[in-house]
Structure 1
Amino acid sequence: MSFAVDVSVLAERYRAVVRWLRIESLLGRETQDDGESPHALGLLDEAYRTLADPLSRAEYLCCLYETDQDSLEFPKGQLGSRGSSLMEQIELEETLVAATNRSDPAGAVAKVLTKLAERSAALDKELHALFADPSPENLNAAREIVRQLEQLSRCRRDAEGRQVVLGRRD
């Protein structure tokens, strides 16, 4: 399994399968249960959203690799990285609050969003390397990166919400 996905190819294949399922449904070639075609479309939509979003894809891959829970726990002494990512999140949130109190809050929030995007891209690149060799150590590191990406995603949503509010003030 690979973390790398060509999103344009994924979208093209998704649309082709959706077309095929709809044609099959229109031609009356549904399986025995009339509800299966809508169910298949729902599963297909969920699979597409999971694979198209790097964070969801990483979470899914982590779940797939979880076969031996004991070997996939953080060893003692490695919990420091979780603390540092928590500090990073707190710093980002403080930066976001400070940005909204500046003379150009919209510009400052935009800079925070750029910083979040750059950090997310760097972590995404790390995930590619870690999933290329899914050893227990790399899977533990991937889980930590997924946690960091989740924190960055929450901070990004907060920043986007502030950006919307600031846009209404102008």
Structure 2
Amino acid sequence: MQNHFELFQLPQQFTIDAAALDSAYHEVQHRVHPDRFANASDSERRVAMQWATRANEAYKTLKNPFRRAAYLCELNGVDLEVESNTSMPPAFLMQQMEWREALDDARAAKDGAALDALEAAIRSERKAVLEATAAHLDNGDFRQAAGLVRQLMFLEKFSDEVANVQDALI
């Protein structure tokens, strides 16, 4: 079975051409769109639907940098060890603790400006970690990238938590 990169005829690397991904996705969707199989047999319609579903999932995975990074690690035999490996660099752990305190303080004070500043800091950190992840992935260092993907997972979850607190203030 083809992997997502092969499905869209893209190089198997983190850095991808977004326009090429979009174009390839639309081409695959055009070929397997269920409307094209309206007069086909049940089995042909079922296969077309399976391909359309697969193309949608592949597109979502490759379009999202975090999911693309995790997928590349997986493709290259590196388990992210999400459940069993919670080790993080000490500086990252300290940053997490500071952000948690800042979130708690901003929530208690109902301080929208502090939440905005926290969100900006997380966005900046996520960008830096994503750039480092991309460098490791494109250089074939999947083990190092896996640790960074775990950091990205935290950043994604914490960013969602900040957004939920912001929404609650509105």
Identity %: 24
| Aligned CA distance change for structure 1 residues 97 and 13 (closer, same or farther; 3 Å) | same
TM-score, scaled to structure 2: 0.78
In structure 1, list runs of 5 or more residues that go unmatched: 74-78
Residue 87 of structure 1 and its aligned partner are, at CA, apart by: 3.2
- The equivalent of 2:167 in structure 1 is 164
SS at 1:38 equivalent: helix
Q: CA RMSD for the aligned pairs?
A: 2.6
Cα distance in 2, alignment partners of residues 108 and 8 from structure 1? 36
Asked whether the equivalents of residues 82 and 144 of structure 1 are also in contact (C-alpha less than 8 Å), the reply is: no
In structure 2, list runs of 5 or more residues that go unmatched: 1-11
Q: Does 1:56 align with 2:64?
A: no
List per-residue Cα deviations over 1:49-93 (Å, max 9, x = no partner).
1101111111101111117x8xx99xxxxx974444333323222
TM-score, scaled to structure 1: 0.78
Equivalent residues in 2 for 1:76-91 (5 A)?
81-91=88-98
- The equivalent of 1:2 in structure 2 is 13
Q: Does 1:125 align with 2:125?
A: no
- The equivalent of 2:99 in structure 1 is 92
Higher relative contact order (CA 8 A, sep 6+): 1
* Corresponding residue to 1:25 among 37, 45, 51: 37
SS at 1:5 equivalent: coil
SS at 2:152 equivalent: helix
- The equivalent of 2:116 in structure 1 is 110
